[in-house]
Amino acid sequence: MKRFAAFLFFSVWFWLPVHAQLGVKGGLNAAVLQGTVGTDATYQMSYHAGLLYEIKLIDPVLSLQPEVLYSLQGTERKSDLENYRTKLHYVNVPLLLKLTLGPVYVEAGPQAGLLIKAQDDGVMVLSQDGSTVVYGPTSRDSAPDYKQLDLGACVGAGLKLPLGFALGARFNAGLNDINDVKSVTGVNDQKLYNRVFQAYLSFQLPETN
């Protein structure tokens, strides 16, 4: 899947005979799993970074922008007995339609994410025997708890700066339930959805023909 995403990204770069700009970007994430472990789930701060390729469809107003991003997401849970972070490592491939009016732009489009690693760190349940529950500090691989593919939608806006730089903000909403842990009866299975707010700085090279 990762090789396919890279092949698709660079195929668009080399084969479309239009004005385009390659760039890099990176910034902060505020991420949570909505619908997760109850009201004690909170946003955690992390980061994202990667490549973008802006293809000018109607220069300079309308463009198509595929990206390949590494994004650290997940959630943080705090309660009287548990305090741990779930870290979900994704390779995200958004495909955005971008409208630019002067220095201001807005963007929106679908996104596919591939989960490459998941980790739980902190104080959580170590064992349970009937009504006896043992808590303690631990770190575990939680990748089997989540579906590998996350499909979502993105919407954002930004401001173009001199010398090819830009400042932007984006909201990513997962559309499919990524929980892969089901109860024995199938009743009250938790549904988990990625929710990520992003703030970023990008830099683009001069246009290519």
Domain, as residue range, for 199: 2-15+22-204
Give the mean model confidence (pLDDT) for residues 8-30: 74
Give the mean model confidence (pLDDT) for residues 171-185: 84
Rounded to the nearest 5 degrees, what angle is found at the Cα of 149, between the Cα atoms of 147 and 152? 115
Q: Say which CATH number the domain at 154 has.
A: 2.40.160.20
Q: Which residue has the higher pLDDT, 152 or 11?
A: 152
Q: Which residue has the higher pLDDT, 131 or 68?
A: 68
Q: Which residue has the higher pLDDT, 15 or 125?
A: 125
Residue 14 has pLDDT above 70, yes or no: no
Residue 40 has pLDDT above 90, yes or no: no
Give the per-residue pLDDT at 168: 98
| % of the chain with per-residue pLDDT over 70 | 83
The answer to which of 140-144, 174-178, 188-192 has the lowest mean pLDDT is 188-192
Count of structural domains, the chain? 1
Residue 190 has pLDDT above 70, yes or no: yes
Q: Tell me, yes or no, whether 85 lies in a domain.
A: yes
Q: Tell me, yes or no, whether 79 lies in a domain.
A: yes
Q: Tell me, yes or no, whether 209 lies in a domain.
A: no
